[in-house]
Structure 1
């Protein structure tokens, strides 16, 4: 009974803000302030028309897609290579390698932002999508290694031994055995990375000054002014920004669940 009550309260904490945001995107500013928590009595799509016809917003969506489309595959490739090494190396080298990347999860990103900023400034990578892609890869690589290594460690060694008997080296074993078998875990990791890169605000806020290179979360700040905030447009932007993630999870939910549970029990 207590468990259901706690879960019910938690569900309300999640659902109520979603309803307010979705309903607010269909209201005018006057209607929103008159009844912020109520359902729209005179729903309008004017906010969506304004947002979707904004050429600047379409540009920042393209920037976000570029960052995600490059960062995620590279992070998956590097993460899977490190995870394969962690699974195949002898005991102590494997623990040392995994510990180095686990340390990346223990250090808060805010603690290393100033050194990163200075380094990227010296390299000429600040205020560029290339620099933003590189910092995203560096920051999220430990997450990918942590997830993928947990799965690859559960793969039976007989698979690799059989491949070695057939003359396959480490590179061939990685591409022909580890990658195909790890597809559910790779899919789950990809979803995590897409969400992290798509919703990232901190690094674009720190590294990007050029309006033409902003990403979507950074562009949403334009709806918030010093004296006035266009909440209906802001809510509409949030809905538009969240929709790709919702659709991706809806279509990849099976792979996500399979990837999360794949390494839970050793086969």
Structure 2
């Protein structure tokens, strides 16, 4: 069946700005959802989940940018022409223009930045971008980019974007300089979904079984947050001010309860990384990088 997607229409699609007010409680809940606080005696972790009686030392995990002013799963709206049931999230990137405040009011503006047609039966790639800024000061806080494989929408005809999708980040050809193991808990997905991603695939066993999985999966964005935690712990001594950006490629799902080992290659202000679910021997994030200030 021919795709209903029309590239010029999708590239020009208007998105309403989203205003998002979040509190210190939301910031702590996000941090708990990506594993901070697992060691309640670790002062570095506590600054993300406690922050003192008056929140004077509370910090936001840098990857919290992913959930700020999130537009939701808009691909399922009928005007997009996207075969939304065959969408696969392949890459995620954040660029931080300033540290994320531990509470505040932000505005996010989303657009479809590019579409690349892989051909009939081969799908297409869509790059969407969200700019997040402080609602009061208008200060830019983050740029969030998501690369998605539209498996059912190849061969849409004229209107594809010029150029090529972003090239993959290549890992150094040497042994990693460090590694960090972080355990996930069985209820990790149930906690993370409270930060805004309510897809039942991550909570309802019946939905997971219908999709071909034995049990609900952990959100890919949560896996990204756990890998960021590994960098903060192993490289930055939990100093979020040095975290300038992150890009990851999702290669396999995480099952809540997996232990995640993140291998790290440190080259100046670039930290390359790969994350593996140890018990299953599966690489879940690959060709990833964190940029430092």
Same fold (TM over 0.5): no
Q: TM-score range by the shorter chain?
A: under 0.3
Q: Return the TM-score normalized by structure 2.
A: 0.24
Tell which has more relative contact order, 1 or 2 (C-alpha 8 A, sep 6+): 1
More strand by share: 2
